[in-house]
Amino acid sequence: MPGRSQPLVPAVRVEAADDVLVTGSVTFGRYYLGGFGAVHGGAVPLLFDELMGRLSNAGGRPVARTAYLHVNFRGITPIDVPLRVEVRFDREEGRKRYLTGALYDGASVTADAEALFVTLLPGQR
């Protein structure tokens, strides 16, 4: 189910997915409106965190949680426009997982992100 039934997470249509790459499309509706007709700045990191979290835990990998998420806003992310999103699992070093992602309006990058996820220790949730 898009957004895993979480009302704040934008619905993403996953077009291709494996253990290292997820690509899909998302359209931020009026619910995500920020200033001056653009997507609210908090909605873009929410999108990246959701998709990166899913990918971090894909492929039978043990559960990990977000330790760090950095988003660069490269341009205006428009409302009511189909956008392309890509998230990549770059590497794993011990308990650390490094992921990157980008959000596109046509050929233009509206935002990109890098994240660190850390595998939980026994007994952690």
What pLDDT score was predicted for residue 7?
Answer: 75
Average the pLDDT over 34-44 and give the result.
Answer: 93
Q: What's the token pair of residue 124?
A: 């952690």
User: Whole-angstrom Cα distance, residue 19 to residue 26?
Assistant: 20
pTM to 2 decimal places:
0.93
Overall domain count for the chain: 1
In a domain, 109, yes or no: yes
In a domain, 111, yes or no: yes
In a domain, 81, yes or no: yes
Q: Say which residues have a Cβ less than 8 Å from residue 56's Cβ, sequence separation at least 6.
A: 64, 89, 97, 99, 115, 117
Average the pLDDT over 47-52 and give the result.
Answer: 96
CATH number reported for the structural domain that contains residue 50 in this entry: 3.10.129.10
User: What does the mean pLDDT of the chain come to?
Assistant: 93
Q: Are the C-beta atoms of residues 12 and 24 closer than 8 Å to each other?
A: yes
User: Whole-angstrom Cα distance, residue 50 to residue 4?
Assistant: 9
In a domain, 39, yes or no: yes
Over 50: is that where the pLDDT of 113 sits? yes
Average the pLDDT over 44-68 and give the result.
Answer: 96
* Alpha-carbon Rg for the chain in angstroms: 14
What pLDDT score was predicted for residue 2?
Answer: 46
In a domain, 91, yes or no: yes
What pLDDT score was predicted for residue 5?
Answer: 62
SS3 call for 56 = helix
In a domain, 125, yes or no: no
Helices (H), the chain: 43-56
In a domain, 108, yes or no: yes
What pLDDT score was predicted for residue 62?
Answer: 94
Over 80: is that where the pLDDT of 1 sits? no
What pLDDT score was predicted for residue 37?
Answer: 87
Which residues form the domain of 77? 2-119
